[in-house]
Amino acid sequence: GHSYFTTKSIPLGPSHGPNSIGSLSAAMPVTGLVVRDTPADYDFDWHVAPRKQFVVNLDAAVEIEVSDGSKKVLGAGEMFLLEDTEGQGHRSKSVNGQPRRSLFITVAD
């Protein structure tokens, strides 16, 4: 299988109750949380995601390349979903020689 980029939105609605602040999504079942630090020279060749997972960049960007050659830089604070658990997968590398801390949030199938 080929990997590709697509844009999806998580619907948000008004929050209710005594601690109501802002907008909320519906709760999503997750199965784990991993914190990862990658070094400033991080450059990971083609690989698949070990499982369906959200990634949240906490403090720096990452460049992702998918199988059609398209590349995107996802910055600090951005969240993305990896679903390419088979096939060629994707490449990822640090941006501007910055180390990165990220959260990997595994999603129930």
- 76: domain CATH number is 2.60.120.10
pLDDT in tens, 7-56: 999 999 998 888 889 999 999 999 999 999 999 999 999 999 999 999 99
In a domain, 42, yes or no: yes
Total number of domains in the chain:
1
Host domain of residue 42:
28-107
pLDDT of residue 16: 86
C-alpha–C-alpha distance, residues 66 and 84, integer Å: 10
pTM of the predicted model as reported, rounded to 2 decimal places: 0.89
- Predicted confidence band of residue 99 (pLDDT cuts 50, 70, 90): very high
- Predicted confidence band of residue 71 (pLDDT cuts 50, 70, 90): very high
In a domain, 70, yes or no: yes
In sequence order, the 6+-apart residues with CB closer than 8 A to the CB of 33 are 103, 104, 105, 106
Q: Answer whether 66's CB lies under 8 Å from 105's CB.
A: no
In a domain, 7, yes or no: no
pLDDT of residue 1: 75
In a domain, 86, yes or no: yes
In a domain, 12, yes or no: no
In a domain, 62, yes or no: yes
In a domain, 11, yes or no: no
Check the CA dihedral 69-56-102-54 and report its sign. negative
In a domain, 23, yes or no: no
- Indicate if the pLDDT at residue 106 is higher than 90: yes
